[in-house]
Amino acid sequence: MTERPVSCARAGDLALLIGPDRRWQIVRLEPGQAVHTHRGVLVHDDLIGCPWGSRVVSHTGQPFLLLTPSLHDLILRLRRTTQIVYPKEAGYILLKMNIGPGCRVVEAGSGSGALTAVLAHAVRPDGRVYSYEVRPEMQQLARRNLERLGLADVVEFKTRDIAEGFDEVGVDALFLDLPNPWDYLDQAHAALANGGYLGSLLPTANQVTRLLAALESPRWGLVEVEEILLRPYKAVSARFRPEDRMVAHTGFLIFARALVEESISGPNAPEIPATFREDET
Ligand code: SAH
């Protein structure tokens, strides 16, 4: 049998440290530094060179797990000054909008860069994320966050009000995470490829109905509204049960496809209805 190669923590790596009470933190390992936790101190030099997946102990003898952080962990600990798109929505957005390696994706606004990071991670190495943001200080934060994660190379940040439109055309997917997406549907349609994916995340039902009304147009089809509830469990065999608390609401997801107007073709093409709605019930 071949032995599993052991990969070890190196200086400069991001490390996930999980204490006995499941409290966790992410640190960049730097020689000469130390992590101070409420369960004791861990010296970086002791961690550097340890195999990932090791149990390490603090100076008070408390055990910690030394692991590589996932993108999920990194997103939750991102420096932020805005609401962010949370992992439960971000993962689904990728599948729903068919975002993968090589895709060209537009998003607005950049905010703290949480969704930007997920998009960048998905489209690399050959894809591109074009991230628009009207507030320069927000974009600066998003850019720094992406740099820290080593994902900035596939992102083009643009400091602009998207009312002025997008520079790109023919993009695979476009996501609007801002309070009034209905105001920018013309700009979004102009940037998207025929049949391209539009997505948006809105916290209130009032905003959703306003966006739905704006999407009732021959330019858009396959409009869907969804909400994702994530129910965490106590992962203990002897008392396996849901956690006491859960996050009841983050936001509604709205998806649509960009259509070519007046495109019904073929010998038996019917009259094109002024408004094409799939479902009137
Ligand atoms: N998706 C981001 C959060 C976006 S918060 C994340 O996951 O971190 C919404 C952002 O949209 C704010 O930073 C706001 O400044 C920006 N914004 C609002 N209206 C805008 C517009 N018209 N053009 C560009 N950015 C806009």
Over residues 98-148, the pLDDT tens digits come to 999 999 999 999 999 999 999 999 999 999 999 999 999 999 999 999 999
The runs of H, that is alpha helices, within 108-193 are 114-123, 136-148, 185-191
Give the residue, by CA position, lying nearest to ligand 1 atom 17: 109
Q: What angle do CA 265, 270, 275 make, to 5 degrees?
A: 95
One-letter amino acid at 6 equals: V
Judge whether 29 lies within some domain: yes
Distance (angstroms) between ligand 1 centre and the Cα of 251 equals 15
- Give yes or no for residue 174 CB within 6 A of ligand 1: no
Residue 264 lies in a domain: no
Closest Cα to atom 11 of ligand 1: 109
Alpha-carbon torsion, ordered 210, 211, 216, 222, to 10 deg: -140
Is the minimum distance from the CB of 256 to ligand 1 under 6 angstroms? no
Q: What are phi and psi of 177, to 5 degrees?
A: -115, 75
138 lines ligand 1 (CB under 6 A): yes
**Ligand 1 in contact with 93 (CB < 6 A)?**
no
DSSP 3-state assignment of 128? strand
89 within ligand 1 shell (Cβ under 6 A): no
Question: What residues contact 271, with CB distance under 8 A and at least 6 apart?
Answer: none
How much is the pLDDT for 227? 98
Say what the pLDDT of residue 4 is. Answer: 75
Q: Do residues 55 and 145 both lie within one domain?
A: no
* Residues 102 and 230 both lie in one domain: yes
Candidate from 85, 166, 177 with most ligand 1 atoms within 8 A of CB, to mutate: 177
> Hey, which of 75, 135, 140, 160 would you mutate to test ligand 1's pocket, going by the most ligand atoms within 8 Å of its Cβ?
135
Q: Please give the distance, rounded to the nearest whole angstrom, from the Cα atom of residue 254 to the centre of ligand 1.
A: 17
Q: Which amino acid residue places its CA nearest to atom 22 of ligand 1?
A: 161
For position 231, what pLDDT does the model report? 96
Q: Is residue 136 part of a domain?
A: yes
CA–centroid distance, residue 113 to ligand 1 (Å): 10
The C-alpha atoms of residue 121 and residue 193 are separated, in whole angstroms, by 22
The one-letter code for the residue type at 47 is L
User: pTM above 0.85?
Assistant: yes
Domain count, the chain: 2
Low-confidence residues in the chain, pLDDT < 70:
1-2, 263-281
Residue 61 placed within a domain: yes
Helix 87-96 and helix 114-123, axial crossing angle in degrees, nearest 10? 40
Q: Report the chain's mean pLDDT, rounded to a whole number.
A: 94
The pLDDT of residue 35 = 94
Number of H helices, E strands in the chain: 7, 15
Question: What's the confidence (pLDDT) of residue 5?
Answer: 80
Give me the CATH number covering residue 50. Answer: 3.10.330.20
Tokens of 164: 């002025």
Q: What is the DSSP letter of 181?
A: G
77 and 148 share one domain: yes
Whether residue 131 is found in the same domain as residue 59: no
> By residue range, what is the domain housing residue 54?
14-69
